Amino acid sequence: MAKIKYNSVVLSQASSLEKAVGFLRRTLGDVAWLHKLSEAASSIRANCKGDDWSVQIDDMEMPIENPKHLKPGRLSGNLKMFVSISMEGSGKEWKEKKDCIKSLRFKVEVLEKNQNDAQKFFQTGFHIDKMDSKYDPSEMHPLYHVHFLNDSLIEGTEVLAMDVPRLMHHPVDVLLGILLVYANYNQTGYNKLLQDGNFMGLCRVSAQHILSPYYQSLSKIPWVDGSVTKSDEALCPYLTV
């Protein structure tokens, strides 16, 4: 039996990014980070040999609007945000609407502009990751989780810092990640995106292939013998009985 190829899925990933560039430029204006999506699309196409694809986009500087409850307040208007994503996907699993993400690291960093004083270092953010085998097994990691960062240093004294919980969170791809960031950090841009049926259409496709399998697995809680896979259980280890 001939092996089914998934090149069309892989090329559709590149196409989605190219389309997103056109849609986002129209909706958000000529934002500088869009060229990184084009580069990522080219990279997917250039490396399209098998059935999988990978995306690596570093430090897309996206505009952050003044966050609520910001402390210190003087940082208002003085923050910048960088978004990065590294992801590998499976064409076969995408096509079959199963968990298609082989690896994921989606990272958002928010920091003070013009950090000249080494004694006053403000930085926060979060990442959404897929656990991989390199993680310390003594720490509980839901398969997909969000983890918050706080690396601020104030007046030469480190703030209380410890691991905050790794909370279950659905995976994201580039487009869902962009939507998530705008939804949380840029209300003006988010409202524009919601009115862009073309961009939302791309996100809808991503949601069908990435969110649906995740929540279908998650909906099996409480775990029932025989109906769960290791992957289902890994979504939230502490609920596994």
Partner 1 sequence: MKRYYYIDDEVDTIKSIADGINESNVVHVDVFPLAKFKEFDKLTQQLRNEWNDIDGLILDLKLNGGGDDSTKFTATSLAQWISSYVVVDHKEAKPIVLLSNDLQCANFKADITSHDLFDMVLERSGGLDWKEFARKLAVLADDYDELNQSKEKNLSELLQNDSIDTSSTYFAPFLEPAVFNVSQFASFVLNDLFIHPGLLISEELLAARYGVDMDKSGTAWNNFKTKYLGVAQYRGMFGRIAERYWSKKAQEVFAQITKGKNAASMTTIQRVTSLKTYSEEAKDLVAYEPSDKDISTYCWAIDEVTKKPLDSSTGYMIQEEGGLKSWQEPRFLSFDTIESGNKGDIRLVPSEQERYNEDLAALDD
| Token code pair at residue 231 | 């992957």
Choose which of 204, 212, 215, 231 interacts with partner 1 (CB under 8 A): 204
Asked if 49 touches partner 1 (CB under 8 A), the answer is no
Asked if 205 touches partner 1 (CB under 8 A), the answer is yes
CB of 6 to partner 1, least distance (A): 8
152 alpha carbon, distance to own chain's centre:
23
Choose which of 72, 165, 201, 237 interacts with partner 1 (CB under 8 A): 201
In degrees rounded to 5, what are phi and psi of residue 146? Answer: -105, 140
Asked if 25 touches partner 1 (CB under 8 A), the answer is yes
CB of 125 to partner 1, least distance (A): 29
Residues 6+ apart with CB under 8 A from 225: none
Residues 6+ apart with CB under 8 A from 212: 97
Pick the closer one to partner 1 by CB: 137 or 197.
Answer: 197
Pick the closer one to partner 1 by CB: 8 or 103.
Answer: 8
Choose which of 19, 36, 130, 170 interacts with partner 1 (CB under 8 A): 19
Pick the closer one to partner 1 by CB: 30 or 139.
Answer: 30
Residues 6+ apart with CB under 8 A from 147: 126, 127, 128, 129, 163, 164, 166, 167
Q: Give the H or E element holding residue 72.
A: none
**179 within 8 A of 156, measured Cβ to Cβ:** no
In degrees rounded to 5, what are phi and psi of residue 127? Answer: -135, 150
CB of 10 to partner 1, least distance (A): 8
Choose which of 153, 167, 200, 234 interacts with partner 1 (CB under 8 A): 200
Stretch that binds partner 1, among 2-10, 75-83, 107-115, 165-173 (CB under 8 A): 2-10
